[in-house]
Structure 1
Amino acid sequence: MKAKFNALIRFRFLFSVSRKFASSPFNSSPLETLIAKPRLCWTTAAATATTTTTTTTTTTVLQLNETLEEKVVLEGIQDHPKNSKDVFRRWGCSETDISRIFLRRPSLRNTDLTILQSKLNILSELGLASSDLAKIINCRPRFLSCRINQSFHERLEYLQALFGSREMLLKAIIRNPSLLTYDFHHRIKPVVAIYDGVGVSRKDLIPMLLSRPTLIPRTSLNDEKMDYIRRTGISKDSKMYKYVVTLIAISRLATIREKLANFEKYGISEDEILGLFGRSPLVLTLSIDKVQRNMTFILGTMKLPASVVLDHPFLLFFNLEAVLKPRGLLMGKIQDMGLVSQIKGPTMLRALRMNEKRFVKAFIKCHPEDVASELMEYYTNAKDVKRLAESSKKNLHKGFPF
């Protein structure tokens, strides 16, 4: 009974499969099946090949893009400066210039490269050369540490209008780099306005700014200084007016009083001294020590009156050891030898103003050979006498001479 039941189940299964197979849409003749199968296989192979080709091409393009991107990144890394030395080198500084810069300002080795590059770009806009930068850093070590980019374009426009041209402005900046660091609104513009107010035109102010770089930070005018300017007796139309005004403006009142008192010791009145300042403003720049030493020699050795310097202020400017003393002693020697009866007055003053070659020819070589040799030896020995402890002085000053 069990065997018959199993046989019945198998028969029903075969019958159902045959019906499903017959009703299937895939049921076709053997020939059609043989033809259809290769077609299906070829389509699948073509699709696979196309997909593989597309994938390969995409992979190649991606690899190429990645290679180009890596190359650009590498070039960018290589183009980026590594340190401040590299920044200076790319800006145009030689190895010598870079060494001088780092010697005067070692902290520039560790400065921020972006800020340093921006400041160098500003200097390039001005037309500043690398050799000029080395000179500026040598005299102003903190120059690149200052905020030169603050109000730069406004400052540049104003200064260029003041100096008249970019070339003159560049010359002034090289002479005084602090023009780029002074407070623009509270220092530069007010000082220019002060000189405009007292009658110094901008045309006259330019040579003063070039010759006196401390003009801007040290200028101050009050009633007492204005009174000194008035008492010099100089008019605003005089060529000396700008010198008188600027020298008094940058000088401290205590210094002016001390120099006036120094001249008064030799019997010269204050009005006469101020009149001397009006005729020869640079007398105000002489130190008290130099005036004392020259006046002592003029009065004591040369036996001239103190008032002689009012008419001949050049006597105060001569170097005592190199010009004034040797020539004064030589003329005294000539008189003692009886070669000339007397040398005084205009002849002495004219001899002091001669250049070296002309003086030797007029007062030494004009005599017989033996006398000329003796005078030349005496004159040379007199010039070799130096001031006490002069040779032991050490010049420790670095930077601008002012």
Structure 2
Amino acid sequence: MLRLRSCLLAQLLSPRSASPLSPLHRLLSAAAAAPAFSPDPSIFAVEEYLVSTCGLTRPQALKATPKLSHLKSPANPDAVRTFLAGLGLSGADVAALVASDPQLLCASVEKTLARNVDELTGLGLSRPDIARLISLTSAGGHFRCRAIVSRLQYYLPLFGSPENLLRALSHSFYLIGADIERRIKPNVALLQECGLAACDIAKLCRSKPRMLITRLESIQAMVECAEGLGVPRGSPMFKHALDAVSFISAEKIATKVDYLKKTFRWSDAEVGMALCRSPMMLRHSMDALQSKSEFLISEVGLEPEYIAHRPAMLNYSLDGRLRPRYYVVKFLKANGLLDRGRDYYSVFSYVEKVFVQRYICPYKDAAPHLAEDYDAAHRGGVPANFKFT
């Protein structure tokens, strides 16, 4: 018996028995490979909580877990999630917030989040506004900081309304974290010195909030560039000129000016006059400018000088306004329903309601299909009645 037990023990411990077919080897290997977990239910499994409760993906949870490793229970995260849900944020919204700023789950609901909501409500923000604000500023963790209230106390009067501010933040959430005293206020002061009122600054910065957070030297360079177009500070057109040249290099502006001269056959004086009256031409693509030049000069027959004096025409949509209206006027003239002395600039500049009242409605009996043909032209077609040989 002793010899038999010795043989069995030797066989089990033999290297040859440690083969893939060995039950003992498989058991030991499986035990070694099994993930270690603690049977202690008191230990808070952060990663699993983020996935199963917060709705994060596994990669998002893996990335967020180290920032929450100090949490010992789900009590505070649950309180934060409940608070956010009370503001109207969906489960998907909360998941996105946590993925962007995991430490939001560590914020104190009573001391920070609820106080921020109460004070922002006092500033005029609705709960939906606040929910949107949280989403827009989550990447920087700003809403879990008390400083957000004082920042909005400055920004709300500047932008004029919560909606304007939220629109600016949607373009650049960095605005909420910028240094107001050292960066924002000096830029605002410079814009005010250029004659821009608060409403002008708000309108300019809604779509270009970088105007507030960029270096003061950059703003000064933009101001000088706008003046270089021939638009003086303090003039009503200066805010448009500043908008047109903002964040465009001097080289690109010079290239666009040369292109305008060539495309519209303008002299130096004419391109200067056109830019003074409509500086936003600089924002149009070269293809769009080329198409409008071909249409206005070659098809409509307008003189380059006429266009230079009325450059606002170049800001209108070619297919949405210029071409359909031209077809209508040409049709009416060709059929003797309209005198030939009509000014095309007036035709193009009327708001849609006025154009229809003046050029469509009066001819519904003489030209019953005119309104239908006009609508078809808006959709890019050229109705048979608008085809002239």
Secondary structure of 2:78's partner? coil
Q: Given the alignment, which residue of 259, 263, 276 partners 1:262?
A: 259
Query: Distance between the aligned counterparts of 2:80 and 2:320, measured in 1?
Result: 48
Letter in 2 for 1:85: R
State whether residues 326 and 379 of structure 1, in contact with CA within 8 Å, keep that contact through their aligned partners in structure 2: yes
TM-superposed CA distance for 1:298, in Å, is 0.9
Out of 362, 375, 379, the position equivalent to 2:374 is: 379
Q: How does 1:137-286 map to 2 (within 5 A)?
A: 140=136, 142-143=138-139, 145-146=141-142, 149=145, 155=151, 159=155, 163=157, 168=160, 170=162, 172-177=164-169, 178=173, 179-184=175-180, 187-195=183-191, 198=194, 200=196, 205-210=201-206, 212-218=208-214, 221=218, 225-265=222-262, 266-286=264-284
Cα shift at 1:171: 5.0
| Counterparts of 1:222 and 1:258, CA distance in 2 | 21
Which residue of structure 2 lines up, in the alignment, with residue 130 of structure 1?
A: 127
Instruction: Measure how far apart 1:320 and its partner are.
Output: 1.7
The within-5 A match list for 1:66-145 is 82=78, 84-89=80-85, 92-94=86-88, 97-99=89-91, 101-102=93-94, 104-105=96-97, 107=99, 110-115=102-107, 117=109, 118=112, 121-127=115-121, 128-136=125-133, 140=136, 142-143=138-139, 145=141
Residues 172, 209 of structure 1: 8 Å contact kept: no
Specify the SS of the correspondent of 1:245. helix
Question: How much has 1:155 moved relative to structure 2?
Answer: 4.4
RMSD of aligned alpha carbons: 4.0
Shift in CA distance, 258/232, structure 1 to aligned 2, threshold 3 Å: closer
Tell me the alpha carbon deviations over residues 225-273 of structure 1, each in whole angstroms, 9 at most, x when there is no partner: 5554334443434233334335434444344234323312222245543
Counterpart CA distance in 2 for 1:189 and 1:306 is 44
* Contact in 1 for aligned 2:266/2:305 (Cα 8 Å): yes
| Other-structure match for 2:287 | 289
CA distances 1:267-312 after superposition (whole Å, capped 9, x unpaired): 2245543443333344344343333322221112111122333322
User: What's the offset of the Cα at 1:372?
Assistant: 1.0
1:96-127: CA deviations, max 9, x gaps? x3246236546169544233743564354233
Aligned equivalents of 2:350, 2:271: Cα separation in 1: 26
Amino acid of the structure 1 residue aligned with 2:242? V
Structure 1 residues 323, 217: CA separation in 2 closer, same or farther (over 3 Å shift)? Answer: same
CA 217–78 in structure 1, closer or farther in 2 if over 3 Å, else same: closer
Counterparts of 1:364 and 1:246, CA distance in 2: 36
Is contact 2:289–2:314 with CA below 8 Å preserved after alignment?
A: yes
Which of 316, 323, 326 is the equivalent residue of 2:321? Answer: 323
How much does 1:206 deviate? 4.4
Amino acid at match of 1:133: I
**SS of residue matched to 2:287:** helix
Unaligned runs of 5+ in 1: 1-76, 388-402
Residue identity opposite 2:254 in structure 1: R
How far residue 224 of structure 1 moved from its aligned partner, in angstroms, is: 6.6
CA-to-partner distance for each residue in 1:131-173, whole Å, 9 max, x for gaps? Answer: 11343456x374453587386576456557xx37xx9474553
Aligned-residue offset at 1:328: 1.0
Secondary structure of the structure 2 residue equivalent to 1:373: coil
1:231–1:275 CA contact under 8 A, matched in 2: no
Q: Give the counterpart letter for 2:316 in structure 1.
A: F
Distance in 2 of aligned mates of 1:325 and 1:227: 37
Given residue 319 of structure 1, which amino acid in structure 2 is its aligned partner? Answer: S
Identity over the aligned pairs, expressed in percent? 20
8 Å CA contact retained: 1:175, 1:213: no
1:82 shift after superposition: 1.7
